[in-house]
Chain A
Amino acid sequence: MANIVLRDSGILVVALHGELDNHEANQIRAQISSAIFSGQVRAIIWDLERLGFMDSAGIGLILGRMRDLAPSNGETLILNPSPTMEKIFNFSGLGSNIRHCTVDVAIGEIGGVLHEQ
């Protein structure tokens, strides 16, 4: 399952839950893509803190959305993957997109507007 929120600074935060395999990727791909194309999205933050499992379908999903963002040079950050997921990202050349931090810290890194709590 994907919980998708567009923050007002144009940063799409996609929080994933459960198990991300080929079947699940096919279920949520259109939802994420349409959020990208309907908003003024300039970056995506994938929050994997609560994702229990991911295989190479997750790589396909994330690389595909990086392509959606390519025309606007949008940034992609991947937050808090499990050690196994982190290995998979490293095999796929996405290691430099990984951060271990909160969503707010990641938004700060991208240069979004952080509202005072």
Chain B
Amino acid sequence: MNNEMTLSFVAKEENEALARMAMTCFITPLDPTIEEISEFKTIVSEAVTNAIIHGYECDGKSLVTIHAVIEDHKVTMTVRDEGTGIFDVEQAMEPMFTTRPFMERSGMGFTIMESFSDHLSVESAMGSGTVVKFEKTFSPVTEVSRMR
């Protein structure tokens, strides 16, 4: 099962739901479990929210781009912004670290993305933006797992 897609939208908070919905539809043919769908949606939501809030400060005009490929049961997805960039990626990935405590950002985004994906990498440069790349393999549904 192979497929590929690209989705771009402006940096508005309302588009967080759009991104989750589109990406959920994209992986549906892999016949994921409810928990796999829900973890994947969470990854998408965290990455896209970071791009909108931190990358572009919700400017409503710059574009966030999601690119995703399905190869067999593996999904490879990148979420890209060309915004602010992350000053120190290692620090940003520490649990509870946030640059925006006053906005009640919990600082848990990267911890969640790391835990819910098989592989996560982050490339970022100040002033030119951030690309977050994920890989997640979905468990092939077998007759046995359907009967559980």
Contact = CB atoms under 8 A, between A and B. Distances in A.
- A-side interface size class: 20 to 34
A22 B111 contact: no
A55 interface: yes
Interface residues of B, number: 28
Given A23-B13, A91-B95, A59 B108 contact: yes
Interface string A52-92: 01111101110110000000000000000011100110011
The secondary structure that dominates the B interface is: helix
A26 interface: yes
A91 B41 CA distance: 17
Contacts of B38: 53, 82-84
Given A55-B45, A63-B106, A88 B112 contact: yes
Given A61-B104, A64-B104, A21 B49 contact: yes
B39 interface: yes
A55 B74 CA distance: 23
Contact of A88 (B35, B96, B103, B108): B108
Contact of B108 (A26, A56, A83): A56
A-B pairs with lowest CB-CB distance, top 9? A60-B104, A23-B13, A59-B106, A84-B38, A60-B106, A55-B45, A56-B108, A64-B104, A22-B49
